[in-house]
Amino acid sequence: MKSGREPAVKRPRLAGIESLSDSSPDTDSKNSLRAWLFLLKCAKRVEQEMSTRFREQFQSSLSRFDVLAHLDLAGDKGLSTSQLAKRLLASQGNITRLLDRMAQDGLIDRRGDSADRRVSKIRLSTRGAELFARMAPAHEQWSHELLGSTGIADRDSLVTLLRHLHDHLESRR
């Protein structure tokens, strides 16, 4: 008589960085996996540190800083919600809620697009531009504190490698 239990299926072991130690075989795919895991862990750690610093120094968030930075780059022409969402790699719903709060705080202005009245263009308000002008130098300094230990040549190489990876990933979209 059957026990009613499914037979055990042997699944491949999922590897974390700890299981991909330097003593693991150096196959091309293992090194790609190592690169991905280290990149992810480093990015998350830097993001956590930046978020903490924005909250403590500016009572703001990394997300708000990202929006302000993109709007600063866009200048007077501004960006639509969908353009911001695409640039921030976020959903339009999340961006809309963030923009609503930023508008309430007087950091952004929304105006109808003269070419398409169904679209709102988002621009920095005077208050948002002033906040960004204070945040940007701090962000640059923090970036240097967190990444500056690598040395100039290694940092240049890292930027080149990451730019190449970014371009490759964008080409697959």
Q: In DSSP terms, which residues pair with 122 in a beta bridge?
A: 79, 110
Q: State which fold the 67-136 domain adopts.
A: Arc Repressor Mutant, subunit A (1.10.10)
Q: How confident is the model at residue 163 (pLDDT cuts 50, 70, 90)?
A: very high
pTM: 0.78
pLDDT of residue 3: 55
Q: Which residues contact 55 (CB under 8 A, 6 or more apart)?
A: 61
Q: Does pLDDT of 22 surpass 60?
A: no
CA-to-CA distance for 29 and 77, rounded, in angstroms? 45
What tens digit of pLDDT does each residue of 29-72 get? 889 999 999 999 999 999 999 999 999 999 999 999 999 999 99
Residue 67 and residue 108 in contact, taking contact as beta carbons nearer than 8 Å: yes
Within its chain, how far is the Cα of 81 from the centroid? 17
